[in-house]
Amino acid sequence: MINRIRDIRRQKHMTLADVAARCTPPTTAQTIGRLETGTRNLSLGWMNRIAAALEVEPELLVRGDEATQPQLIARLLETGADALSKPADAILPIALGGESALVVLAVEASAGEYRIGDQVWLRQFEPDDYSRLLNRDVLAPRPGGRFAFGRMIDRDGNRVAILPPGTGKRQIVIDNPPWLAMAEMLVRRL
């Protein structure tokens, strides 16, 4: 198995010392370097510690010899597309960072700025964080296993009002939703 600690660390603009300090309990930059290069065995315990320090899922740290991971090969600058000196594994950005649960909404009918085939990745929030979701696109559970999706336009105590995307839609008022999930990333095929 080949590990991807160095690739992920560099994409997150972290040094060996940064990762070492963020490990629980803290370790040394030399130890992280040895784990990156394979001169020290990457045990399950180390994998979990380093993944937590990098804020990624532990399975992102390893890959098989014949991995078919997408490659990051270029970057877009003001002057145009520029090749990287060395290709690197592309890491799905949603797996990086955040402590709360993620959910995904698949768009199967165009609505507002969302197109058929889009995926909306959303991060779940508890009721005490709802105030920061005002004027953001959210997904909310409703009774009977249904959901509401749209812009959160109002909050009154335990009640939230959501305006679905598109023209001529009526707001949906939900009493006491157990959680709301805020849209964080849109994945759209070209």
Residue 80 domain-assigned (yes or no): no
The answer to whether residues 107 and 117 touch, using CB atoms and an 8 Å cutoff, is yes
Q: How many domains are contained in the chain?
A: 2
Domain boundary among the residues 14, 36, 65 is at 65
User: Comparing 90 with 39, which gets the higher pLDDT?
Assistant: 39
Residue 82 domain-assigned (yes or no): no
Residues 60 and 128 in one domain: no
pLDDT tens digits for range 93-143: 545 455 667 788 888 888 889 888 888 888 888 888 888 899 999 999 988
Residues 40 and 114 in one domain: no
Residues 111 and 161 in one domain: yes
pLDDT tens digits for range 41-55: 889 899 999 999 998
Show the domain range for 20.
1-65
Read off the CATH number of the domain in which 152 is found: 2.10.109.10
Residue 43 domain-assigned (yes or no): yes
Residue 108 domain-assigned (yes or no): yes
Residue 83 domain-assigned (yes or no): no
Burial (CB count <10 Å: 0-12, 13-18, 19+), residue 161: middle
Residues 107 and 181 in one domain: yes
CA distances from residue 58 to 63, 74, 133, 147, 167 in whole angstroms, order as listed: 11, 26, 29, 31, 43
pLDDT tens digits for range 81-96: 677 787 776 666 545 4
Residues 127 and 52 in one domain: no
- Full-model pTM: 0.56
Residue 75 domain-assigned (yes or no): no
Is the pLDDT assigned to residue 164 strictly greater than 80?
yes
